């Protein structure tokens, strides 16, 4: 999953260049683990690292965006089975 457009650093607007890749695990509605190899980019100006995230990811969350949306909308299908997980997602959403 790699974009082709030029991307600029959100901090200094410097040019981002591909640096390497990082594995990231994502859990879907069924609890299935998907492993993605995401591209890391380094700013040529400030040297900060950034990861290119597809829309199915939510930064710093292990569940897919669709699963988190299901929990927030209180849909029973597609939500994690553990009540504690649902509570943590809702608590995070209220803070955002």
Q: pTM (2 decimals)?
A: 0.78
User: Which pLDDT does position 4 carry in this prediction?
Assistant: 67
For residue 35 the two structure tokens come to 């492993």
DSSP string across 47-86: --EEE---TT--TT-SB-HHHHHHHHTT-STTS-S-HHHH
* Contact predicate 16/7, CB 8 Å: yes
Question: pLDDT tens per residue, the chain (96 residues)?
Answer: 556 678 899 999 999 999 999 999 999 988 899 999 999 999 999 999 999 999 999 999 999 999 999 889 888 766 677 888 888 999 999 998
Where exactly are the structural domains of the chain? Answer: 16-95
User: Which pLDDT does position 3 carry in this prediction?
Assistant: 61
d(CA 82, CA 74): 14
User: Which pLDDT does position 30 carry in this prediction?
Assistant: 87
User: Which pLDDT does position 59 carry in this prediction?
Assistant: 95
């Amino acid at each position: 999953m790699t974009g082709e457009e030029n991307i600029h650093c959100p901090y200094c607007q410097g040019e981002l260049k591909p640096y390497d890749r990082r594995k990231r695990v994502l859990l879907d509605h069924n609890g299935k683990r998907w492993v993605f190899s995401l591209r890391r980019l380094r700013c040529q100006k400030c040297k900060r690292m950034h990861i290119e995230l597809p829309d199915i990811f939510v930064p710093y969350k292990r569940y897919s965006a669709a699963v988190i949306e299901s929990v927030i909308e209180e849909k029973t299908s597609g939500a994690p089975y553990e009540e504690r997980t649902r509570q943590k997602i809702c608590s995070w959403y209220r803070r955002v």
